[in-house]
Structure 1
Amino acid sequence: MSLLRLEDVTRTVIPPDQPALTILSGVNLTIEPGDHVSIVGRSGSGKSTLLNLLGLLDLPTSGVISFDDRPVKSYSSARRDRLRGASIGFVFQQFNLLAGRTALENVTMPLLYSSGRTFWQRKRIAAEMLELVGLGHRLNSMPDRLSGGEQQRVAIARSLVRGPRLILADEPTGALDLDTGQSVMELIDDVAERTGAAQVVITHDPMIARRARRHFRLDRGILTPVDDPAFEPLTRREMREMAPVEPSGDAAEDEADVLDMFADDRRES
């Protein structure tokens, strides 16, 4: 059973006093559980529109989008919202942090919709996730007191804190330095691998794209597989050389605790 499938999906908008504009045309894409897909495309190619469809934020003008092999159009708006909140984690170029809320409060927000052990220990789980992205010392900082890179790491922690089944990332390391960016991608990959989450990453960075197993190019609303040596998946040796230092001691135990929480929440939901 596929996790998410797009079949002949088209998205058309009608600007005021203008003819209809087709943003996406005949898109076909299947995402399996645990999949890792990269999508490259220039500005204006339809990437944001495609992400909104993959994230169940919008519906297609024509074609079919299925989640767990059930057409999304058959869901009510409220059910799509619940499905999105429970199963999909977003990392956008914009940080979209809540002003007037600390880093800890921003990351805790998605856990308010959890149940059982995860709900009752939401603050500890959020704090440990922030520790994992290198912000354990900024738990009580407001967004306007954080650098751009720190705000992006808060956004990434928030997207991962519920252990989503699908991670949608739009230039996730765009505001980060090289070392921090690789650490964040390693964290995303590790959480995805341990929880079985699929990843769809939109990026201009060929090294980030190479972390994926399948690659696509979006050009003028048309999605095509990429057969380019520059996007050959990284070898195990290259992945080891790029990986940050493994956590040890208490940090490693905290990471294991967070991932155990994800598994418990999945079983209870």
Structure 2
Amino acid sequence: MTLLRLEEVTRTVNLIDAPPLTILSGVNLVVSVGDRISIVGRSGSGKSTLLNMLGLLDTPTTGEMFFDDKPVQSLSANARDRARGRDIGFIFQQFNLLQGRTALENVMTPLLYADGRQFWQRSKIAMEMLERVGLASRATAMPDKLSGGEQQRVAIARSLVRGPRLILADEPTGALDLETGASVMQLLDEVATASGAALVTITHDPAIAELASTHFRLDHGLLTPSGVAVEAVPA
């Protein structure tokens, strides 16, 4: 089942006193249920713009983009927001945890925008997710009392607590040491597999990219298939 489809998508921004800048050029990509996709690119290659597009934070300048077979350009901003909150989970390099909130409160945050059982049982659901990532004993800890690996696991729990069908991981191990990064990626894959979610990892690290089953290279806004033997590129 196809979740997301991009067909000849471009993204261009207008500049003052300069020609328009094309950031993405003719991008074609299909993300289906259970996919494990890696996208490798240098700084300035368009990774952030592509991530925003995949996460329904932005829309194409030209081309077609479909989410659940619905054209994204035809959805209102509110409809995109609802789909993003319900079906898409984001994991970032810098964790983006709320300071002054416990691990449990951080994981509960997305459930504040849910309805029905997810809202009324948000504490129980969040605790169950912390248990899945091995941090139930750290539920009351503040972010500054957690190690880097623990903070990333809290971020993973938060991104998955609403049961998203698509997980977007932006340099998810960039702030971690090699061993911790490998364990975090293994955990992310296990949890995503258990929930049946598709996982798209955007990274500059070839070791992380090789963990996926389908590989792409983004270079100057062009997305092309890539083998697993990708060379290291600057972040």
Normalized against structure 2, the TM-score is what?
A: 0.89
Tell me the secondary structure at the aligned position of residue 212 of structure 2. coil
Give the superposition deviation at 1:197: 1.0
Residues 64-213 of structure 1 aligned to structure 2 (within 5 Å)? 64-213=64-213
In 2, the alpha carbon distance for the partners of 1:118 and 1:75 equals 25
Q: Which residue of 2 aligns with 1:8?
A: 8
Q: Which residue of 1 aligns with 2:233?
A: none
Structure 1 alignment gaps of length 5 or more = 232-269
- Identity level (%): 71
Give the superposition deviation at 1:140: 2.2
Give the superposition deviation at 1:212: 1.1
- 2:107–2:154 contact (8 Å) kept in structure 1: yes
In 2, the alpha carbon distance for the partners of 1:138 and 1:195 equals 23
* Equivalent pairs, count: 230
CA deviations 1:159-217 (Å, max 9, x no partner) are 11112100000111222333432332222212222222111101233232122111000
In 1, the alpha carbon distance for the partners of 2:191 and 2:147 equals 25
Moved more, 41-50 or 110-119: 110-119
- 1:160–1:188 contact (8 Å) kept in structure 2: no
Give the superposition deviation at 1:14: 1.8
More helix by share: 1
Give the superposition deviation at 1:107: 0.6
CA deviations 1:197-246 (Å, max 9, x no partner) are 11110123323212211100000110000035x26xxxxxxxxxxxxxxx
In 1, the alpha carbon distance for the partners of 2:150 and 2:19 equals 42
Tell me the secondary structure at the aligned position of residue 175 of structure 1. coil
Measured on the aligned residues, the alpha-carbon RMSD in Å equals 1.9
Give the superposition deviation at 1:120: 3.1
- 2:10–2:26 contact (8 Å) kept in structure 1: yes
Amino acid at match of 2:70: R
Moved more, 83-92 or 94-103: 94-103
Structure 2 alignment gaps of length 5 or more = 231-235
Tell me the secondary structure at the aligned position of residue 207 of structure 2. helix
Distance 1:132 1:196, change over 3 A: closer
Amino acid at match of 1:86: R
More strand by share: 2
CA deviations 1:94-118 (Å, max 9, x no partner) are 3222233222111101122334443
Normalized against structure 1, the TM-score is what?
A: 0.79
CA deviations 1:126-176 (Å, max 9, x no partner) are 123223334333322333444444332222211111121000001112223
Amino acid at match of 1:131: E
- 2:149–2:181 contact (8 Å) kept in structure 1: no
Amino acid at match of 2:178: L
In 1, the alpha carbon distance for the partners of 2:7 and 2:182 equals 33
